[in-house]
Structure 1
Amino acid sequence: MTKIAFVGTGYVADYYITTLANYPELKLVGAWDHDADRLTQFCLFHDIWSYGSLEECLGDHETTIIINLASPESHSELNCAALNAGKHVYCEKPLGMTFEEAHAVIELAERKGLTVCGAPANGLSDAQQMVASLIEAGRIGAPRLAYAEMEDGPVFKDNWMEWRSRSGAKWPGLHEFEVGCTLEHAGYGLSWLVSLFGAVEKGQAFSALTFPDKGPGTANLELAPDFAVGCLSFRSGVTARLTCGLAAPRDRSLTIVGEEGTIVVRDLWDDRSPVHLSRFDGKRPLLQRLAGRFERKRGQVLPLRLVHGRAVAYPAPAKAGKLAAFPSQIDFARGIAVMAQAVSAGQAPFFSGKRALHLTELALAMNAGVGAFVPKSDF
């Protein structure tokens, strides 16, 4: 049994506590938040202990891992405070607001002999594992090119001010517009790309604020970019393009083009997303052939988009477990469970240490639109 504590009880905390039910080996001892009203609301709803202060939370000798779910600007400081208290840390994106902050966190963990892991956990999903196995089995030949989309749709045109988590937390829209969709969401694509293709050796990054007016409450805010694109060259030889935005229609797909075929993952936020495979020497599915024939005959594109290839069956049925509600069907607690198991075994979790730093650096570069860059981090 690994005992953990939450620091931060905002909107995303409900995603974590919902999926903790999948892992009886994890026990949530308690939570702390600087917002006393929000802390009380969260703890009463979920029937868990509320710490009286951050010092009490970090000083609890029962807990092994601190789950840092606070606002991004405080991640670095809280990570270091937890490490100095002798705790392992699982941190929401990003590890710090600058590369220097994130690097200091990882260096401190190494000096203390502790582990820091970074979210998101969708890079550990059933879908990711199946895609990795298809690539390893040579089903599309050597991967050469990847297109990852992390478009969340025009959120600022929606009724986001009415959105609430299970325990009643407001979706922090204004804060997300200030921090930026790239720091909040690029990691969902980057975790897949890095887990499949390894480290990035160089890249090009561009970002822009395309919609400076995001409605009520935003007039006097300094808004972050709402569009970013990164073109990444991996040491393994793969080239990838990742886009991230808050305006284009929702699209969270991944397309991988190999020397002999393609893989399409329909939704990177779905733990068991449909995965489609096609080979260049294979026959297209009947519906796709009929659609192509119709388009050629009519001389126009059909008002629908068929996913390229045939759906691949998962090797085993889905386990009975809980996921966050659509459209965030991610097993958020899986990252904590994998971390706890690795720490108990004296091993380094996959998304920890220098690899977690690498992911943070890539997201920071995309958000800043730095142009050509060579990552300082490596693993």
Structure 2
Amino acid sequence: MATSSSGAVGVGIIGAGNISDQYLTHLTSFPDVRVLAVGDLLEDRAKAQAAKYGVPRGGSVDSVLNDPDVDIIVNLTIPAVHVEVSLASIAAGKHVWTEKPIGIDREESQRLLKTADAAGLRVGVAPDTVLGPGVQTAKRAIARGDIGRPLFATTTFQWQGPELWHPNPAFLYAKGAGPLLDMGPYYVSTLLHVFGPVASVAALGLQGVPTRTVKSGELAGQEFPVEIPSTLSVLMDFEQGGQAQSLYSTDSPLKRHGIVEINGTEGTLVIPDPNTFGGDITIVRPLTDASVSDQEILEVPQEGVLAGRGLGLLDMARSIRDGRPHIATGEFGYHVLDTLLSIEEAAASRTYVDVESTLGEVGSLPADFDPLAATL
């Protein structure tokens, strides 16, 4: 187990694909963490990413797992091997931050959490976009009572699909992905920050076409199978009250996503795209006079420092040193997964499905959290 107790926390990255650029861009700018190694099954790709971002070492997956200076592994592999790589990280004595989802089934994900707990190690789970100033400012506004009692939410993600731009999109239509498992974590995580844990879900699903075609890159023109529903219409009921209706689709020629609206007794709060860290936040007030046609729209000033991927890992690194809980915990990530799998089951059975897992109070980042400050 890595044993550093002062100075920047050592980080190693496993997975040098598309998303690694976003992580490396921001993690290499945070003073409280130091990226020491990048590993990938394609070692040349790992070495190239390490060189590009000034990371000291790049090479094999095992070289990162066995690096004595690495405290936390950042798992950026495909969903199907998230648990496998996370378990290997725990076995190597490292804390682990994993891209979403935590896994692709409940049993293996629970095994990961139990193994980490027994080893005294932490698991953190993306997305950490919900820890950015956008969602966190909105969450504080709701806690202040700015829209009264929150009643229900509407979220929307619809467009034609990632094969339009992704050079190798087949895994995004495999088990453990699709618009629900790939994009759903952003929206469900946001709703959990507002309403707390999910009690039950209902859904309808469909598959627009059985195969898709890569539209760009070296694989352009190549077809691949669609293994999951590519459109889901979802209803959610929350333990502490409140409801939500959501659409997840990659069958829509109309691009309309990033929509999160929280409707309360005294107004509607419009939250920025949960796949980003910030954006415009507005409150729409109800009409008080039938003769007035224009509703009052208030801008809510965004509080906090805008950062990017790795914000949740940074909170986890600081929390480890401070001996306090981090926010984007493995348990939170598991409840998100349990909710999403329950939605899949509800769509398949066309019945309501109870979500078995639950959560305690969901933590928040303070408004003065500064990722660019050196605190360790």
User: Under TM normalisation by the shorter chain, which class is it?
Assistant: 0.7 to 0.9
Aligned length: 338
Does residue 226 in structure 1 map to residue 213 in structure 2?
no
Q: Is the CA contact 1:205–1:229 (under 8 Å) kept in the aligned structure 2? A: yes
After superposition, give the CA deviation of every residue in 1:334-366 in whole Å (9 maximum; x if it has no partner).
Answer: 111111111111122122032221011122333
> CA separation in 2, counterparts of 1:268 and 1:174?
24
Q: Of 265, 268, 274, which aligns to 1:262?
A: 268
Does residue 346 in structure 1 map to residue 323 in structure 2?
yes
Amino acid at match of 2:280: P
Amino acid at match of 1:108: T
Q: Is the CA contact 1:8–1:70 (under 8 Å) kept in the aligned structure 2? A: yes
Q: Is the CA contact 1:267–1:274 (under 8 Å) kept in the aligned structure 2? A: no
After superposition, give the CA deviation of every residue in 1:7-57 in whole Å (9 maximum; x if it has no partner).
Answer: 101000001111224421110001100012322332232232344432321
1:261-300 matches, within 5 Å, as 261-281=267-287, 289=294
Q: Is the CA contact 2:94–2:121 (under 8 Å) kept in the aligned structure 1? A: yes
Does residue 355 in structure 1 map to residue 335 in structure 2?
no
1:122-141 matches, within 5 Å, as 122-141=129-148
Shift in Å, 1:282: 5.6
1:63 match: secondary structure: coil
Q: Of 210, 231, 246, which aligns to 1:212?
A: 210
Q: Give me the TM-score of the superposition, normalised by structure 1.
A: 0.82
2:257 match: secondary structure: coil
1:347 match: secondary structure: coil
Gaps of 5+ in 2: 1-7, 215-220, 360-376
Does residue 253 in structure 1 map to residue 259 in structure 2?
yes
Partner of 1:236: 240
Shift in Å, 1:247: 2.8
Amino acid at match of 1:211: V
Q: How much identity, in percent, do the aligned residues show?
A: 24
Q: Is the CA contact 1:205–1:365 (under 8 Å) kept in the aligned structure 2? A: no
Gaps of 5+ in 1: 162-170, 290-307, 324-330
Shift in Å, 1:136: 1.2
Shift in Å, 1:140: 1.1
For residues 71 and 156 of structure 1, do their structure 2 counterparts lie closer, same or farther at Cα, with a shift above 3 Å needed?
Answer: closer
Amino acid at match of 2:357: S
Amino acid at match of 2:135: Q
> CA separation in 2, counterparts of 1:143 and 1:126?
20
> CA separation in 2, counterparts of 1:125 and 1:333?
11
Amino acid at match of 1:230: V
Does residue 48 in structure 1 map to residue 25 in structure 2?
no
Q: Is the CA contact 2:154–2:261 (under 8 Å) kept in the aligned structure 1? A: yes
Partner of 1:57: 64
Does residue 373 in structure 1 map to residue 369 in structure 2?
no
2:16 match: secondary structure: coil
